[in-house]
Structure 1
Amino acid sequence: MSQNPENLVEQVKKTTKNLSRPPLEKWHPELSGDMDLRISRDGQWIHKGEALGREAIVKLFSTILRREEDGQYYLLTPVEKWRIQVEDTPLLAHSLKVEGTGEQQIIKLTTNVGETLEVCNEHPLEVGSYEDSGQPRPIIRVRHGVDARLTTAAYYDLAEHVVEQTIDGNTVLGVFSHGNFYKIGQGG
């Protein structure tokens, strides 16, 4: 077993040949250790101080990444589990597109690894805030506890679709997607 990204890639390819996405929910290996891999706030995947040069490796690693109940992030294969460091969210979401209008509109975002997600029950949108600055922290759930943070441009694009709703007697701001209302903030 190795912390080498190329070795992990080969393991995953062997076990997921005919699958569109690795079955992480079925993989529960013991912790192999800590890998010297860090995902920076700006979405860079850095292994041993160097950016991972192959985009294909980053895309594959994004499919074997899981955030567990302890709040830590792990790269998984059927036989290995490596803890990695993530500064904010492991993925970024950009290129917001909206299809339709009103309550039935569909909001789509593309991640920095090329996956398009629709804001829905499976990929909910949530806007929290950073504790240190109070700045908004808009995220969309990808899968397995992994989130993608909306880039500033995507967040501004999202703001163009905000509407007011009254919920429990309070005015709130948010957006609709797939018939669901996703709260962005308090109304005025």
Structure 2
Amino acid sequence: MAADRRVVERGEGEGDGDLPIPGLALTPPVRRPRREPIFCGDIAIRIARDGTWHYQGSPIRRKELVCLFASVLTREPDGSFWLVTPAERGRIEVEDAPFLAVELFVSHCRGRQVLSFRTNVDEVVEACREHPIRVARDIVTCLPTPYLAVRPGRGSLPIEARIERSVYYELVALAVPETVHGETVLGVWSSDSFFPLGQADEG
């Protein structure tokens, strides 16, 4: 995928150096129309449930390449995932969430608890109103499956990381009871936001 380059055309009256000649008017830079990325259709990239990226059925072993792809990952309003650069765009397959939250950091700032997560592509995301934690139920095992919103998508659906089971157990150890909509639930506080993990009597 080609990299975008900003092109500024030299106006009349500019010298050969980087600075304009004093006292001469400059022609404003020409703003070229933005070119839409070329649609490439489906790309043979799949992100497995365990967070492994595959190309044409084979795992991508180079983490630097995975991180590069991850940096241009977007999510459309219909829930589909795409790799988008200024030059090209193509759809990829994601079995569950594209990222995993593999490590938890707990800190305190001005008396409030802050929970931060490191993903498998080494992004560090602070749980907050813009990056909420949600807990779904696995349709097969019925076990709680927690997710963290890593960044917004192009619609209402965010790009998420599934919180690994060991990290989820660390969250449960930090859980406190709170009343939400008249019910007592267990959850965690982070950056002045409360995120329910489950019913207080669940277990």
Q: CA deviation at 1:172?
A: 1.0
Asked if residue 15 in structure 1 is aligned to residue 33 in structure 2, the reply is no
Asked if residue 130 in structure 1 is aligned to residue 138 in structure 2, the reply is yes
SS of 1:105's partner is: strand
Stretches of 4+ moved more than 3 A in 1?
26-31
Unaligned runs of 5+ in 1: 1-7, 18-25
CA contact 2:45–2:55 (8 Å) conserved in 1? yes
SS of 1:100's partner is: strand
Q: CA deviation at 1:103?
A: 7.6
Give percent identity, aligned residues only: 38
Asked if residue 56 in structure 1 is aligned to residue 45 in structure 2, the reply is no
Counterpart pick for 1:151 among 146, 164, 174: 164
Q: Greater RCO between the two (CA within 8 Å, min separation 6)?
A: 1
C-alpha spacing 1:164/1:75, structure 2 compared with 1 (3 Å):
same
- Please, what TM-score do these two structures have when normalized by structure 1? 0.83
Q: Which amino acid aligns with 1:15?
A: D
Unaligned runs of 5+ in 2: 7-33
- Please, what TM-score do these two structures have when normalized by structure 2? 0.77
Q: How many residues align?
A: 169
Q: Which is richer in helix?
A: 1
Structure 1 distance, partners of 2:35, 2:169, is 38
Which residue matches 1:3? none
Asked if residue 32 in structure 1 is aligned to residue 40 in structure 2, the reply is yes
Which residue matches 1:185? 198
Q: CA deviation at 1:85?
A: 0.5
Q: Which amino acid aligns with 1:168?
A: H
CA contact 2:178–2:186 (8 Å) conserved in 1? yes
Which residue matches 2:21? none
SS of 2:167's partner is: helix
Structure 1 distance, partners of 2:135, 2:49, is 17
> Considering only aligned residues, what root-mean-square deviation do their CA atoms show, in Å?
2.2
Larger Rg: 2
Which residue matches 1:47? 55
